[in-house]
Amino acid sequence: MEQFYNISELKYKPYDRYGTPIDGLYWYELNFDKATSYGTFILKFQPGSRTNFHEHTGTEEFYIIDGILHDSKANVFRPGTFITMPPGSRHYTWSPSGCTVLVFSQGPNIIISE
């Protein structure tokens, strides 16, 4: 069955992809399977929030809908930017003023101690 979403009307929940919610991160699972980490979700960063440092086991791609996102490699991603993270890539992302990101995941991430 077809589904249609209005991003501004979604009811986001705490981002708990790794079991424990991460402060300041919220998500809406559009078509995402937690068991395999395959699928699509929208991730909202509150101002100053960041992801855990992690390694991608599969390709992960994301599109910046609004706001500005930074990563641990000093990249700055603005609205309209599409990013591909290949398997084996490591980073964390953060947003000083908040942002909304559309994420396409093709496998789990491994949390890494910094």
Taking only the tens place, the pLDDT of each residue in 20-75 is 999 999 999 999 999 999 999 999 999 999 999 999 999 999 999 999 999 999 99
Residue 114 clears pLDDT 80, i.e. is over it: no
- 3-state SS track over the chain: CCCCCCHHHCCCEECCCCCCCCCCEEEEEEEEECCCCEEEEEEEECCCEECCCEEECCCEEEEEEEECEEECCCCEECCCCEEEECCCCEECEEECCCEEEEEEEECCEEECCC
